[in-house]
Amino acid sequence: MNFIEEIVAKDLQEGKNDGRIQTRFPPEPNGYLHIGHVKAICLDFGIAEQFGGVCNLRFDDTNPVKEDVEYVDSITNDIAWLGFKWGHIYYASDYFDQLYELAIRFIKEGKAYVDEQTAEQIAQQKGTPTEPGQNSPYRDRPIEENLRLFEAMQRGEIEDGKMVLRAKIDMANPNMHFRDPIMYRIITTHPHHRTGTKWKVYPMYDFAHGQSDYFEGVTHSICTLEFVVHRPLYDYFIDQFVPQGEYRPHQYEFNRLNITYTVMSKRKMLQLVKEGLVAGWDDPRMPTVCGLRRRGYTPEAIRSFIDKIGYTKVEGMIDVGLLEHTIREQLKEKAPRVCAIFDPVRLVITNYPADKKETIVAENIDGIAELGTREMPFGRELWIERDDFREEADKNFFRLSPGGREVRLKNAYIIQATGCDKDAQGRVTTVYATYDELSKSGTEGGNRKTKATINWVDTDTALDAEVRLYDRLFAVEDPSADERDFRELLNPDSLKVVNCKLESSLAKAQKQDHFQFLKQGYFVVDDDSTAEHLVFNRTASLKDNWQKKA
Ligand code: ATP
Ligand code: MG
């Protein structure tokens, strides 16, 4: 059990909240979910599952300027795809009436005031953690005036930015969040995705979040460590209207997920998307859930990764190699291994009859019979990789080269190169070879060993495919720690597109099907792939550079 699960288990044992366990995942619908959110999701939903509780989804939709239904829809889709089930879908906007009433109550009790200063003036008066702030000149205006002005704000009579409602707490508090935090601001420029133009004033996140938890009956409000300093403020707001000793939510914080060679900020991701630096939120290089899905990551792999990293109270950075390792671990055992020739050159087997065709039956993964077999047409002309042939080879080159060395065509015959054709530039255009009819794999002669095996695809039936070779989006390990603008740190080689020749069995591949292209890596059928234009994305290379650190 991690430390939060231990707290929950203890609370259950002690009969807290009458044995009720209720969590929530509270995204702001201002962007797509990323793998950092998945860490929170796995804990929020996982705790509810594990302890017989419920986890709800709550959209903290308090800022119509940045929020959109597009994000609401993508968030629900992504959570369902990950395999989690929520109890209800709530919205902070469901509580706008209650929160407004609460604000009025605060004003009437002398705990809130309307400030007419600019945002800059308010910021200047904040002070620093070691220096107290200064009181606003509007801090002590009469209750009646505060009420009248706040209601005028809501009626749309005050321009955006001209007034805010602030909590009257303590401008000298060592916790900066207590220095008269803003409770409400005016937003009339953007309609709200659910409440339209009903509201002209919107609660700040800090005035909505804790109360929303309370209204819903959340018992364990789990979030990331940056909210530790907000917790006393959430508790303060609740203490103002909930009697001591009665139910209230408790917040627990864990360390955020940060991964090397990527950014984990919705703001930066939005910039990448808006500025066309990636192809969209679901670009396979993005750390978003939809990006990872398109890259070929499975929910199981993502959840297994989250399991591996665990939950603590110390911020840190996770090696992206671990994430890549996790998907390889999965695909290694289930993705059929097929032939794809990335840099094709024609091979002609001169002693193979021109009118003959045969069908090679190949195991999907060598040695794992349960994973089935597939058929590969074989004939006189094949595509092979250009670098599997050298006209002149040294003693360390064991693949095709004239001069007698034997090479096995994967799952098929042993051949020997006899020569090649070249164009005017000296580039090889055709390789010639002879085959040994008695060396076919699966027959007695098939046991004969060669020093090298090469991949091939029959030219008559080969499929053309676009293959997108994705790599890490950033060239530096920690883009957020770098002084340069994060957009200057993008890896220029994060996408290479090649056209390759695939074995014909891939005509049957469906979207999201996974394959290992032998010697090349793990690939998935892209969402845009069609029978006329096949598209595959590289999920991961074959080489695993993840080393378990002792
Ligand atoms: P913003 O940058 O817009 O504040 P956010 O990433 O905090 O965005 P929210 O929609 O507020 O996004 O996040 C919802 C929940 O996901 C929060 O409880 C937050 O603590 C959690 N969360 C966000 N980023 C991470 C992360 N990198 N690791 C773990 N949890 C995260
Ligand atoms: Mg947030």
pLDDT, residue 550, reads 40
Q: How does pLDDT run across 461-482, given as a tens digit for each residue?
A: 999 999 999 999 999 999 999 9
Query: Residue 544 — very low, low, confident or very high, per pLDDT cuts 50/70/90?
Result: confident
Residues 123 and 211 in one domain: yes
State pLDDT tens for residues 41-83. Answer: 999 999 999 999 999 999 999 999 999 999 999 999 999 999 9
254-277 tens-digit pLDDT: 999 999 999 999 999 999 999 999
**Active site (annotated) includes residue 406:** no
Whether residue 315 is contained in a domain is answered as: yes
Distance 223 CA to ligand 2 centre (A): 9
Same domain, residue pair 279 and 212 = no
Judge whether 101 counts as a catalytic residue.
no
Does residue 433 belong to any structural domain of this protein? yes
Q: For a pocket test of ligand 1, which of 28, 30, 212, 302 has the largest count of ligand atoms closer than 8 A to its C-beta?
A: 28
Cα separation, 67 vs 462, in Å, equals 47
The one-letter amino acid code at 339 reads: C
Q: Ligand 1 pocket test: pick from 37, 42, 47, 268 the residue with the most ligand atoms within 8 Å of its Cβ.
A: 37
Q: Is the CB of 37 under 6 A from ligand 1?
A: yes
Show the tokens assigned to 242. 């909930």
CATH of the domain at 272: 2.40.240.10
Q: Is the pLDDT of residue 423 over 60?
A: yes
pLDDT of residue 549: 54
Tokens 């002669």 correspond to 445
> Residue 325 has which token pair?
């390792």
Q: Are residues 355 and 303 in the same domain?
A: no
Residues 228 and 322 both lie in one domain? no
Mean pLDDT, residues 128-137 taken together:
96
Residues 75 and 158 in one domain: yes
* Mean pLDDT for the chain overall: 97
Q: Which residues of 105-125 are buried (b: 16+ CB within 10 A; e: fewer)?
A: ebbeeebbbbbebeeeebeeb
In the chain, % of residues over pLDDT 90? 98
Domain count, the chain: 3
| Any domain includes 201 | yes
pLDDT for 79-129, tens place per residue? 999 999 999 999 999 999 999 999 999 999 999 999 999 999 999 999 999
Q: Is 405 in contact with 416 (CB distance < 8 Å)?
A: yes
Shared domain for 245 and 278, answered yes or no, is no
What DSSP assignment string belongs to 79-126? Answer: HHHHT---S-EEEGGGGHHHHHHHHHHHHHTT-EEEE-S-HHHHHHTT
Same domain, 369 and 471: no
Distance in Å, CA 28 to ligand 2 centroid: 7
508 is catalytic: no
Whether 28 lines ligand 1, by a CB cut-off of 6 Å, is yes
Instruction: Quote the crossing angle between the two packed helices 231-239 and 205-216, to the nearest 10°.
Output: 60
- Of the residues 166, 168, 266, 295, only one is catalytic, namely 266
Ligand 2 centre to CA of 215 (Å) is 20
Mean local confidence (pLDDT), 186-212? 98
101 residue type, one letter: E
Tell me: do 15 and 129 sit in the same domain. yes
Q: What is the CATH number of the domain that holds 28?
A: 3.40.50.620
Would you say the CB of residue 39 lies under 6 angstroms from ligand 1? yes
Nearest CA to ligand 1 atom 8: 266
261, part of any domain: no
Domain of residue 533: give its range.
266-336+465-549
Q: Is residue 491 part of a domain?
A: yes
135 lies in the same domain as 15? yes
**What pTM was estimated for this model as a whole?**
0.95
Whether residue 288 is found in the same domain as residue 437: no
Residue 308 located in a structural domain: yes
| 439 shares a domain with 533 | no
Residue 224 Cβ inside 6 Å of ligand 1? The answer reads yes
278 found inside a domain? yes
The domain boundary residue, chosen from 219, 254, 289 = 254
Nearest ligand for residue 262 CA: 1
In the chain, the amino acid numbered 541 is S
Residues 75 and 175 in one domain: yes
Among 423, 455, 487, residue at a domain's last position:
455
- Would 260 be classed as within a structural domain? no
Tell me which of 388, 423, 455 is where a domain ends.
455
